[in-house]
Amino acid sequence: MLTRRSLVRGTLGALASTRLPRLARPSDEWRVAVVGLNGRGAEHVEALRALPGVRIVALCDVDDTVLLHASKKLREGDQRPGLHTDFREVLERRDVDAVTLATPNHWHALQTIWACQAGKDVYVEKPVTHSFGEGERVLAAARKHGRLVQSGLQARASPAIRAALEWLQVGNLGEVGLVRGLVYEPRPSIGKVKGYQKIPETIDYDQWCGPAPLQPLRRAHLHGDWHWSYATGDGELGNQGVHQLDVACWVLGAEALPASVTSLGARLGYEDDGETPNAQLLFYAFEPVPLLFEVRGLPRNTAAQRGDWRAGMDQFLGVKVGVVVHCAGGTLRITGDSGAVACDEAGKEIRRWEERGDPFASWIAACQSRKAEDLCAELEVGVRSSALVHLGNASQRTARALPKKELLTELASSSTLTPACQLLLEHLDANGVDLAKHEVALGPCLVLDPARQCVRDNAAANALLAGSHREPYVLPVV
């Protein structure tokens, strides 16, 4: 039977036959395959096209429609990449020196390990793991096979943020007392379906699911909204939040994980098919300076809900998405991934830094030099920041819902969490959430056992942290 998928397959076969021959790599050219082409992957393509000495020789996506669209843009220029729907075919190509991975989170660790085993360098989007337990396996694969692996944490490439932190670290604002991470990103409802949804014929759904359970689709959109399902994504904490978690680690000079992690939150303001919180508050007990982190997906109030959500989001000291460093002599406010402003105790601006870096240029330079120090965000950085995501989500997923009064009573001993929680509850109230009917869940304080790479006395959290992988998409022995 001739189907749309078979027609598209025929087109892919014809296009793939025009790919470059498998020749030895010219010394002045680095040959890259881009894997996962919807959304962020399209940005990978554009960034790599702009770099001298880089050629995109292969594109890969399990969705034929997405793959053909991406290839058309490249073929309008002078590049004729081979097209693949199976990542393993890309790894067999001798004319691929390196791969960039912009696939859903649940694929990142396995694809990185496979690529390292195949002798390819890797640029992997954040978070670099989908479970805490994947971290050591990914690191072991990169070390064993001598691969250069960069994490997709763009802020690490910013000369402005680097300069601002150097200025901070010599004491220009005095002693640091608290680091605050903020992700106030608009996240409207993803809708609620009544039953299982049909998978388009152009998608290889088994490969799309990969290590995740092969379950019927129970949301309106397969692409994009996978972020809000724990089987494939990590919520806002692992979407935008991991960038700010990483910058916070950079501020703190953290080379290890915190002593403990506590999360509270809920998905409120609408009823949809998403699982992950759109309101979340986390406390990371780094020593000597703690990290307080907050996620808000609703705008500032019900009036803002009726307008442009992005324009109507809350802010804290002028920051919607970023990091605020509270110091004895003022604050350093880091916005997004490319700028920072230092203010005195009265909020008056002292100094400003603005300059965006190029993480792909950093990665290519490291691939060519074979020096890990040329990477702006080496794999260890990505594994640590991803671990903060998984620890926070493990606390949240083992939480118990509490009435408002009981929630605040439980937090009463924390001079940091209590006022932050009160502000979050006021935010929910302003959005019409009746906290007498809808409760916020408070997770356990997860105390880390670094020697055993787990948390103490919490079997449920440890099961989540270990993760799971569906056959045959299991992590190989490294």
* pLDDT score for 74: 84
Residue at token pair 């809708």: 191
CA distance 373 to 378: 8
* Distance from chain centroid for Cα 149: 16
CA distance 358 to 240: 18
What's the number of domains the chain is made of?
2
Q: Is residue 474 part of a domain?
A: no
Of 153, 186, 215, the residue that ends a domain is 153
Give the CATH number, domain containing residue 140: 3.40.50.720
Same domain, yes or no: 430 and 455: yes
CA distance 37 to 125: 12
For residue 45, the enclosing domain spans 4-153
Would you give per-residue pLDDT tens digits along the chain (478 residues)? 334 344 344 444 444 433 333 344 555 789 999 999 999 999 999 999 999 999 999 999 999 999 999 999 887 766 789 999 999 999 999 999 999 999 999 999 999 999 999 999 999 999 999 999 999 999 999 999 999 999 999 999 999 999 999 999 999 999 999 999 999 999 999 999 999 999 999 999 999 999 999 999 999 999 999 999 999 999 999 999 999 999 999 999 999 999 999 999 999 999 999 999 999 999 999 999 999 999 999 999 999 999 999 999 999 999 999 999 999 999 999 998 889 999 999 999 999 999 999 999 999 999 999 999 999 999 999 999 999 999 999 999 999 999 999 999 999 999 999 999 999 999 999 999 999 999 999 999 999 998 888 999 999 999 999 999 999 999 998 8
Closest to 212 in 3D by CA, of 84, 85, 104: 104
Q: Is residue 475 part of a domain?
A: no
* pLDDT score for 151: 98
Beta bridge partners of 197: 217
Same domain, yes or no: 329 and 258: yes
- Distances in whole angstroms, Cα of residue 238 to Cα of each of 2, 100, 242, 308, 443: 41, 19, 5, 24, 17
* pLDDT score for 90: 98
Same domain, yes or no: 419 and 448: yes
The three-class DSSP label of residue 448 is: strand
Of 153, 180, 213, the residue that ends a domain is 153
Same domain, yes or no: 326 and 393: yes
Q: Residue 109 burial (CB < 10 Å; 0-12/13-18/19+)?
A: buried
How many alpha carbons fall within 13 Å on the CB side of residue 393? 32
| Element at 307 (helix H, strand E) | none
Residue type, 152: G
User: What contacts 376, CB < 8 A, 6 or more positions away?
Assistant: 150, 156, 157, 357, 359, 362, 363
Same domain, yes or no: 85 and 193: no
Please report, to the nearest 10 degrees, the dihedral formed by the alpha carbons of residues 344, 347, 351, 353 taken in order: 130
Q: How many CB atoms lie within 10 A of CB 413?
A: 8
Q: Is residue 89 part of a domain?
A: yes
Residue at token pair 């794999």: 379
Same domain, yes or no: 288 and 428: yes
CA max distance for the chain:
72
Same domain, yes or no: 319 and 462: yes
Same domain, yes or no: 149 and 176: no
Two structure tokens written together for 395:
């606390």
- Distances in whole angstroms, Cα of residue 74 to Cα of each of 35, 125, 202: 14, 21, 21
Region of 351 please: left (phi>0), alpha (psi -120 to 50) or beta.
beta
Residue at token pair 């004319």: 95
**What pTM does this model have?**
0.94
Same domain, yes or no: 265 and 349: yes
* pLDDT score for 203: 97
* pLDDT score for 336: 84
Same domain, yes or no: 242 and 119: no
DSSP state of 127: S
